[in-house]
Amino acid sequence: MAATFFGEVVKAPCRAGTEDQEEEEDERRETAEDREVRRQLARKREVRLFRRQTKTSLEVSLLEKYPCSKFIIAIGNNAVAFLSSFVMNSGVWEEVGCAKLWNEWCRTTDTVHLSPTDAFCVFYHLKSNPSVLLCQCSCYVAEDQQYQWLDKVFGSCPRRNMQVTVLTCRHVTDYKTAESTSSLHSPFLKALKTENFKEPPCCSLLEQPNIVHDLPAAVLSYCQVWKIPAILYLCYTDVMKLDLITVGAFKPVLSSRSLKGLVKNIPQSTEILKKLMTTNEIQSNIYT
Amino acid sequence: MFVPCGDSVPDLAGFTFLMPAVSVGNVGQLAIDLIISTLNMCKIGYFYTDCLVPMVGNNPYATAEENSTELSINAEVYSLPSKKLVALQLRSIFIKYKSKPFCEKLLSWVKSSNCAKVIVLSSSHSYHRNDLQLRSTPFRYLLTPFLQKTVQNKIKSLNWEEMEKSPCIPEIDDSEFCIRIPGGGITKTLYDEGYSVMTPQHLPCSGKCQVHGDYSLAVVFLLRFFDLFSVL
């Protein structure tokens, strides 16, 4: 427990592990009604994959239905904007699935009629080369949903003959370094790769003691354990909302083997990105 | 589940299994870090589970440029075959309601691997100590009944003190006594499963978590632990 400036006593977060003991005591005191509420909440938080065109659920994992050799995953609005402008506008992409999930941060329930500002997680493959799969994930996937997401997307039979590329952003205040922070010029790119990823990365690797959490970490962990070549490009920025300069920081990734053949016209992509920014600015006001 | 780094599953029969509890001050985890890096233990696999919050980072035990780029995840297994030692390192906290399933899966794997014994390194809040405990060393051990018969006397000869029982409900005078390890994470759950030897430590701090990366207490703990380990 800790006292705030105003004198109120609040429970301070702690790495102690006391939450486990409280959890045990809660479980002992749980009634049948509490268990039912917990079951219903767990059902509500389930991750489901379905096809919006046919409104049917996917019976098997996404990669089982659509095996691929390249899987590019954008997590967060800046990474999503980067792929939308530079990759998706350079070819014809067909939607093959959509992840429906609910949590305290992502309350999109109607994934049929999404507006550009809605949080969503949609999968596409390239019509001219269906072995290239892309995921645009702008919703937050909570920690109790991350393994479910992995299971629904990657399935239980790992495929080693594919390469995974993940793009995401973190706030620059999360970056730990012995250097002075005034020498940091954000946004900047860092990479983390699995053992089986043999290509040189497009930027320097993330140094210790920096770590990555959430869905990008879940994907990379899965790939490391099951020996799938994968690389995570992490953009440290001081602007977490949609931002032209942050999106532009991902440009070195365009020279990677995964994205090289997919990008056709960079100046046109830059114009598309600017239009995307303008659309987003119209949607927001001082109350959002 | 355990997933080996190589193509074959290493034989852990007869090995001593060391693991931390994610507990106050992360002392157990820091101690395991020291053991792995000091003994230069080799990574042999991953304990891949949906019970721990995902995290990745580069090799925390890097000694050169070449090995600094090896990816590490939240639960990894290291071994030192010459000493028949295997260590599990946990680097993140449990997802809500997943600590018990984790203990079940872990113990099931340890059992099927035929490990000879399990040692859990843990810690507990110092502000729960009573007057007697405040006057003694901050280290305690807890043995499962089987090991109590075989090694208890040897441990006592090394001046280790057994974990005392305390009132189950401290506010009530005539409350029953039981083993309580506040701040010890899954330590008590593992002990109740009957497979563990524990070395809980009462942290001499104000009850807040220690500063990130403070290894000083872990070092003291380990130095005291190794003489106990020789007995076990």
Which DSSP string corresponds to A36-105? HHHHHHHHHT--EEEETTTTEE-SS-HHHHS--SEEEEEESHHHHHHHHHHTGGGS-EEEEEEEE---SS
Interface of A with B in 201-260 (CB under 8 A): 205-215, 217-218, 220-221, 224-226, 232
Q: Residue A80 burial (CB < 10 Å; 0-12/13-18/19+)?
A: buried
Q: Which of chain B's residues have a Cβ under 8 Å away from the Cβ of A228? A: none
The predicted pLDDT at position A259 comes to 86
Closest to A144 (Cβ–Cβ): which among B24, B68, B95?
A: B95
Q: Reduced to 3 states, what is the DSSP secondary structure of residue B214? A: coil
Q: Which has the minimum average pLDDT: A241-245, B156-160, B192-196?
A: B192-196
Q: Which of chain B's residues have a Cβ under 8 Å away from the Cβ of A15? A: 22, 24, 26, 93, 209
CB contact under 8 A, B209 and A15: yes
In a domain? residue B23: yes
The predicted pLDDT at position B212 comes to 36
Contact assessment for residue B79 and residue B42, using Cβ atoms and an 8 Å cutoff: yes
pLDDT at A220 over 50: yes
More confident residue, A247 or A3: A247
The domain containing residue B137 runs over which residues? 129-179
Closest to A20 (Cβ–Cβ): which among B3, B50, B185?
A: B185
Chain A contact probe: residue of B22, B47, B58 with most A CBs at under 10 A: B58
The predicted pLDDT at position A141 comes to 92
Instruction: List residues in chain B touching A: CB distance below 8 A.
Output: 3, 21-26, 46, 48, 50, 53-60, 62, 68-71, 73-74, 93-97, 99-100, 125, 182-186, 188-189, 208-209, 213
Q: In this structure, are B22 and B36 located in the same domain?
A: yes
Q: Which of chain B's residues have a Cβ under 8 Å away from the Cβ of A143? A: 53-54, 95
Describe the crossing of helices B216-231 and B145-157 by its angle, rounded to 10 degrees: 110
CB contact under 8 A, A226 and B70: no
Closest to A205 (Cβ–Cβ): which among B58, B93, B97?
A: B58
Q: How confident is the model at residue A14 (pLDDT cuts 50, 70, 90)?
A: very low
pLDDT at B203 over 60: no
Closest to B74 (Cβ–Cβ): which among A20, A206, A221?
A: A221
| pTM higher than the cut 0.90 | no
Q: Which has the minimum average pLDDT: A26-40, A233-247, B66-80, B81-95?
A: A26-40
Q: In this structure, are B46 and B148 located in the same domain?
A: no
Closest to A221 (Cβ–Cβ): which among B56, B93, B184?
A: B56
Q: Which has the minimum average pLDDT: A161-175, A260-274, B206-220?
A: B206-220
Q: Which of chain A's residues have a Cβ under 8 Å away from the Cβ of B185? A: 16-17, 20-21
- Give A157→chain B minimum CA distance, Å: 14
In a domain? residue B186: no
Q: For residues A251 and A248, what is the distance between their CA atoms, to the nearest angstrom?
A: 6
Per cent of chain B over pLDDT 70 is 79
Identify any residues that bridge with B162 across adjacent strands, giving them in sequence order.
B141
Residue of A nearest to B44 (CA): A225
Q: In this structure, are B67 and B38 located in the same domain?
A: yes
How many domains are there within chain B? 2
More confident residue, B193 or A45: A45
pLDDT at A135 over 80: yes
CB contact under 8 A, A17 and B24: yes
* Beta strands B75-80 and B117-121, pairing class: unpaired
Mean pLDDT of A146-161: 89
pLDDT at B135 over 80: no
Q: In this structure, are B53 and B134 located in the same domain?
A: no
The predicted pLDDT at position A243 comes to 86
Q: In this structure, are B44 and B116 located in the same domain?
A: yes
- Give A225→chain B minimum CA distance, Å: 7
CB contact under 8 A, B26 and A15: yes
CB contact under 8 A, A225 and B183: no
Q: What is the CATH architecture assignment of A47-284?
A: 3-Layer(aba) Sandwich (3.40)
Which of the given ranges, A152-156, B72-76, B184-188, has the highest pLDDT on average?
B72-76
Q: In this structure, are B101 and B134 located in the same domain?
A: no
In a domain? residue B222: no
CB contact under 8 A, A193 and B69: yes
Among all chains, which residue has been given the structure tokens 């390890």?
A: B181
pLDDT at A80 over 80: yes
Q: For residues A106 and B19, what is the distance between their CA atoms, to the nearest angstrom?
A: 36
Where does a domain end: B91, B123, B155?
B123
The predicted pLDDT at position B207 comes to 24
Query: Pseudo-torsion of CA B62, B68, B72, B77, nearest 10°?
Result: -40
Give backbone dihedrals phi and psi of A29, rounded to 5 degrees, phi first.
-85, -5
Chain A contact probe: residue of B49, B71, B179 with most A CBs at under 10 A: B71
Mean pLDDT of B208-219: 42
The predicted pLDDT at position A68 comes to 93
Give backbone dihedrals phi and psi of B229, rounded to 5 degrees, phi first.
-60, -35
pLDDT at A43 over 70: yes
CB contact under 8 A, B185 and A17: yes
- Average pLDDT value for chain A: 82
Where does a domain end: B80, B107, B123?
B123
Q: In this structure, are B24 and B108 located in the same domain?
A: yes
Mean pLDDT of A219-237: 96
Q: Reduced to 3 states, what is the DSSP secondary structure of residue B126? A: helix
Residue of A nearest to B95 (CA): A144
The predicted pLDDT at position A13 comes to 47
Q: Reduced to 3 states, what is the DSSP secondary structure of residue B186? A: coil
CB contact under 8 A, A192 and B24: no
Interface of A with B in 119-148 (CB under 8 A): 143-144, 146-147
